[in-house]
């Protein structure tokens, strides 16, 4: 090879056999892109409507913490044949938690709340059982004898509603 009047050596590297060049496929037309966009939009609208629409078959009990403290919540209710308490749900300030996600079958739900320092946050009068760690307890009698703690729960009348939200507020001094 001659470059600018001088002789130069070019090193040959082994190469792969060249592949036949494939003709480029034609790009999608504007009409095709428009159809794709419309279908995606319709799918997004359907999905949003499906997930955002209220579902009458699913009722719940929600607790909203309107205090400035992180709150730990336990609930109690009478199921078909026995009392049952369960906990804990940790709810931040101005946050809510679904504590019962199935259909409400009890008119009265009982709520116990404490702050992170174990101070009771609601003035309850109904004694039910609870544990310091995550729990589900059947029965309300003999809490201490069965190794549990008896605590004062607040009675919430849901008026047989399918959905109910309990708003926990800071006590007024």
The DSSP symbol for 120 reads: B
Number of domains within the chain? 1
Residue 10 pLDDT level (bands cut at 50, 70, 90): very low
- 40 in any annotated domain: no
Asked if the structure places residue 29 within a domain, the reply is: no
Structural domain contains residue 12:
no
Whether 8 is in a domain gets the answer no
Model pLDDT, residue 63: 97
How far is it, in rounded angstroms, from Cα 173 to Cα 169? 12
For residue 22, tell me if it sits in a domain.
no
Q: Write down the pLDDT at residue 165.
A: 96
pTM of the model: 0.65
Kindly report, residue by residue over 87-141, the tens digit of the pLDDT. Answer: 999 999 999 999 999 888 889 999 999 999 999 999 999 999 999 999 999 999 9
pLDDT of 103: 84
Question: Residue 59: is its pLDDT beyond 50?
Answer: no
Asked, for residue 52, whether it belongs to a domain, the answer is no
Domain span including residue 135: 61-169
Residue 120 makes CB contacts below 8 A (sequence gap 6+) with 112, 113, 114, 151, 152
Mean pLDDT of the chain, nearest integer: 81
Residue 29's pLDDT is what?
A: 75
Range 58-75 average pLDDT: 91
pLDDT of residue 19: 53
Structural domain includes residue 153: yes
Among 85, 102, 79, 90, residue whose Cα is nearest residue 154: 85
- What local confidence, expressed as pLDDT, does residue 70 receive? 97
Is 148 part of a structural domain of the chain?
yes
Averaged pLDDT, 73-91 = 95
């Amino acid at each position: 090879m001659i470059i600018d009047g001088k002789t130069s050596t070019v090193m040959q590297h082994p190469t792969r056999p060249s592949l036949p060049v494939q003709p480029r496929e034609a790009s999608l037309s504007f009409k095709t892109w428009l159809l794709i966009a419309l279908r995606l939009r319709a799918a997004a609208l359907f999905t949003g409507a499906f997930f955002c629409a209220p579902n009458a078959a699913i009722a719940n009990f929600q607790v909203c913490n309107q205090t400035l403290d992180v709150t730990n919540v336990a609930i109690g209710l009478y199921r078909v044949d026995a009392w049952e308490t369960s906990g804990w749900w940790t709810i931040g300030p101005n946050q809510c938690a679904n504590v019962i996600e199935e259909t409400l079958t009890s008119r009265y739900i009982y709520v116990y709340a404490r702050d992170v320092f174990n101070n009771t946050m609601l003035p309850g009068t109904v004694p039910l059982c609870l544990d310091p760690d995550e729990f589900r307890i059947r029965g309300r009698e003999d809490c201490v004898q069965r190794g549990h703690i008896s605590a004062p729960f607040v009675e919430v009348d849901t008026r047989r509603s399918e959905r109910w939200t309990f708003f926990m507020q800071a006590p007024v001094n």
